Chain A
Amino acid sequence: MNNRQNDIACNVGQGPVTGKEAGLMICHYCHKVVSCHDYDEATICPRCCATVHTRKPGSITYTWALVLTSLILLFPANLLPIMQVDYLGSQEYSTIMDGIIYFFKEGSYGIGIVILTASVLVPVFKIAGIMLILLSIHFRWKTWLRHKTMMFRFIEFIGRWSMLDIFVIALLTVLVNFGFFSTISAASAATYFCGVVISTMLAAITFDTRLIWDTCIPPNREEE
C-alpha cells in the first residue's frame, strides 16, 4: 500500500514534488495553478480574482489564537446554565450536562448520545485535535501525516453540528410557551457556547493543511 502511494507520488518525475518547491501555487477557491513570483508570495488568481498564497499567511498564529479562545470559552459554556425553565412560577436553570443527564434518566439514550456528542464531545475533540496538529507541526513530528489530514477533515466536517443545542433552545423558547404553566428561555451559557462554535470553526478555516505535509521531505526523496 505504502509503496504504491510513493509510486504515484513520484510519477511526475525526479523534479520537485510539491508545488512550493516547483514554484507553483494553487488558488484556494477555484484550484487554478498559478506560478509564484520569486519576489512575492502572493498574487491575484486570474480565474476568480482571489489573492493566492503559497500557504495561508499567519495560519499557525491565527489558529493558535482561535483555538485558545475557544478553550477559554468552553468553560463558561459548560459550567453556566444554558436553559431556564419557568414552571408554575418557579424558576429552574440547567446546564448542558443537566440536559444530557435528564435524557439518560428518562431512558431516551439515543437522543442523549446525540446531544452529548454534538454539545460536549465535538467541541472538546475539535479543540484537542487542532492543538495536537499544531503541536505536531511545531515539533515537526513526521509520522501519521495522512491520519492527521483525515482527522482535520473530520474536524472541519463536524464543526457545525455543535450549533444543535442552540437551535433546540431557540425552538423550545417559541414552542414551549404555555403562559403561566411553563415557559423556556435561553440562559447565559448560550452566548459563550455560540462563541465556542464560531471560534472553533474559524480556527479550522484559518488552518492550512499543507503545513502538516511541509514537516516532511517526501519519502521518495529521503531514500535517494
Chain B
Amino acid sequence: MNPKKIILCPECDLLLEMSSVEEGEKLLCPRCGAILGAPVKDSVEKVLALTSAGLLIYVPAIFLPLLTFDAAGIESSGSIADSFLALINTHFYFTGLMVFLTAILIPLVKLVMLFIVAASLYTGRSSRKTAVLFRLYHHLDEWGMLEVYMIGILVTIIKMLHMAHVNYDVGFYCFIGLLAATLGSAALMDKKLFWDEIDKQALAREQKEGILPCRRPEPNNGPPALSTQGRP
C-alpha cells in the first residue's frame, strides 16, 4: 500500500521515510542522531552460534574458581557464585540479591532467551510468543552486567597484587569466554531484521492456523464513555 515506508524515530518522534542501508552501514536519525538501523550479515546464524557457545561455557564460568590468592602460605579462592554467597552469609541480603541478579541470573536468562529466539528464527518456527520473548529480552538487556564484573575482577587483582600471589584458575578463562559470547551476541544482533523476520514468520503461521494476532482492546469502551458522560 505504502510505496515508501514511513518510520518514526524512537528517540525524538521525527517522521521519516525508510531508506535502504548496506551491511556495515548505520542509519541515523537526522535530528537527534539515534541509530535507526545497522544491518549485520548472517545475523541470525552468528547470534545462534555465539549464544550456544555462551550457554555451554556458562556453568564453568560461574561455578569454577576464578582466582586463587596466596598470602604467606594461606590460600583462598572463589567463584562468582561464591561472591554472591559470601554477601548472603555476611547478611547483606539486598546487595547479595543485586549481585545474584546482575551477574548470575540475568546473564543466563538473556542467553537462553536470545538462543530460543535465534533458534526459532533459524528453523522458521517463530510465533507471537517469540516476539513476546524477544521483547522481554530488551527489558532485561541492561540489567546483565558481566562486563562490569570483568572490570571488577581486574580491579580486585590490581588491589591484591602486592599483598598476595595471584593464580588464575579455569573459571577466569571460562568467564572471559562467557563475556565474549554475551557481548558478541548482543553486538551482532540486527534488531530490525530480527523483528521483521519474527513478524513475517508469525503472520504466516497465524494465517495458516487461523489464530488471531494480539489486538488492541475493543473500541466499545472507548469514545462513547467520554461523550455520553459529558452530556446529560
Contacts and interface: CB of A to CB of B under 8 A. Distances in A.
Contacts of A49: 128, 131-132, 135, 214
Interface string B40-75: 000000000000000000000000001101011010
Interface in B140-198: 142-143, 145, 148-149, 151-153, 155-156, 158-160, 164, 191-192, 195, 198
Given A47-B195, A166-B98, A26 B13 contact: yes
B119 interface: no
B223 interface: yes
Contacts of B138: 29
B8 A209 contact: no
B8 A163 contact: no
Interface string A93-120: 0000000000000001001001100100
Taking each of A150, A168, A171, A176, which has the highest tally of chain B beta carbons within 10 Å of its own beta carbon? A171
- The A contact surface, by secondary structure, is helix
A217 interface: no
A167 B149 contact: yes
Contacts of B135: 29-30, 48-50
Nearest to A178: B74
Interface stretch (A16-24, A123-131, A132-140): A16-24
A47 B99 contact: no
A115 B32 contact: no
B120 interface: no
B195 A30 contact: yes
A175 B156 contact: yes
A115 B34 CA distance: 30
Interface residues of A, number: 79
Contacts of A43: 216-217
Contacts of B128: 49
A200 to B, nearest CB: 12
A44 interface: yes
Nearest to A31: B10
A142 interface: no
Contacts of A8: 30-31
A178 B12 contact: no
